[in-house]
């Protein structure tokens, strides 16, 4: 790696895996908050993401952790699923949509996916999109960029890769769900891949 690692302000290992791959193509290392030595402060971290837009939440996260990590380049991601037939739900509330608290990782993903399946039962219009706001802050410069991927919600989940709602999100461009795609395939079309490529473009950093 050619420079100090950048800090991705996340506690989500799925996001870290995807962005590590993307930034590695340009020789930039990425570490998460645990690796940067920032102890988890659940209450504060939840409160930061209380805006109604992905952009505001991502920028608030990047700013907050940039203040805790002076001199570091900090990236943040706020993302979620937007389902047309549900009036845009769950949107910025994607992580806690099922209402389950006190669990994380695979358990919260399973609860959210069960909730999605139940809400979409007997719904004819299946179109949806994933949205990601990517933010950068280094104490002087702040940049935010958006990426989206269009798809449809499947009746049943398929695939074992990825995280979150990936098993239920079918992408026509790939011909499969995001959980059936490899990390590299997901990266090429995903909301996150597109948002961070646009962000890097604005920062003058080339990633592919």
- Kindly state whether residue 177 participates in binding ligand ITT, applying the rule CB under 6 A: no
4 catalytic, yes or no? no
- Is 187 among the residues that bind ligand ITT (CB under 6 A)? no
Residues 18-47 that bind ligand ITT (CB under 6 A): none
Question: In sequence order, what are the beta bridge partners of 129?
Answer: 82, 150
Token pair in block for residue 203: 């920062």
- In the complex, what is the shortest distance from the CB of residue 168 to ligand ITT, in angstroms, rounded to a whole number? 9
What is the torsional sign of CA 100, 178, 61, 147? negative
The verdict on 193 binding ligand ITT (CB under 6 A) reads no
Q: Which is nearer to ligand ITT, 77 or 154 (CB)?
A: 77
30: Cα separation from own chain's centroid: 15
Of the candidate residues 10, 66, 98, 177, the single one contacting ligand ITT (CB under 6 A): 10
| Distance of alpha carbon 92 from alpha carbon 79, whole angstroms | 7
Identify the three-state secondary structure at position 12. coil
**Total count of residues recorded for the chain:** 208
Asked whether position 170 contacts ligand ITT by CB under 6 A, the answer is no
Residues 6+ apart with CB under 8 A from 80: 54, 90, 91, 92, 93, 94, 95, 130, 131
Range 40-99, binding ligand ITT (CB under 6 A): 49, 77-81, 94-95
Residue 165 within binding range of ligand ITT, rule CB under 6 A: yes
When binding is defined by CB under 6 A, the residue of 5, 11, 29, 119 that contacts ligand ITT is: 11
Q: Beta strand pairing status for 30-32 and 176-177?
A: unpaired
User: 131-160: which residues touch ligand ITT (CB under 6 A)?
Assistant: none
CB of 203 to ligand ITT, least distance (A): 19
Catalytic residue among 32, 77, 78, 166: 78
| Residue 10: closest CA among 111, 36, 137, 182 | 36
Residues that bind ligand ITT (CB under 6 A): 10-12, 15, 49, 77-81, 94-95, 112, 130, 162-166, 178, 190, 192
Q: Which residues are catalytic?
A: 78
């Amino acid at each position: 790696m050619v420079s100090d690692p950048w800090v991705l302000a996340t506690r989500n290992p799925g996001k870290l895996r995807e962005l590590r791959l993307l930034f590695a193509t340009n020789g930039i290392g990425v570490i998460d908050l645990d690796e940067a030595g920032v102890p988890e402060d659940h209450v504060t971290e939840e409160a930061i993401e209380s805006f109604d837009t992905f952009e505001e939440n991502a920028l608030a996260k990047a700013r907050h952790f940039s203040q805790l990590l002076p001199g570091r380049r900090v990236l943040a991601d706020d993302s979620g699923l937007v389902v047309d037939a549900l009036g845009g739900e769950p949107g910025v509330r994607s992580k806690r949509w099922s209402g389950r608290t006190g669990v994380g990782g695979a358990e919260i993903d399973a609860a959210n996916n069960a909730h999605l399946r139940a809400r979409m039962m007997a719904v004819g219009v299946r179109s949806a999109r994933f949205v990601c706001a990517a933010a950068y802050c280094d104490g002087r410069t702040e940049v935010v960029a958006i990426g989206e991927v269009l798809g449809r919600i499947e009746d049943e989940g398929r695939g074992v890769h990825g995280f979150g709602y990936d098993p239920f999100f079918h992408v026509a461009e790939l011909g499969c769900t995001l959980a059936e795609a490899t990390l590299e395939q997901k990266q090429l079309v995903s909301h996150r891949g597109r948002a961070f490529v646009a962000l890097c473009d604005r920062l003058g950093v080339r990633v592919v």
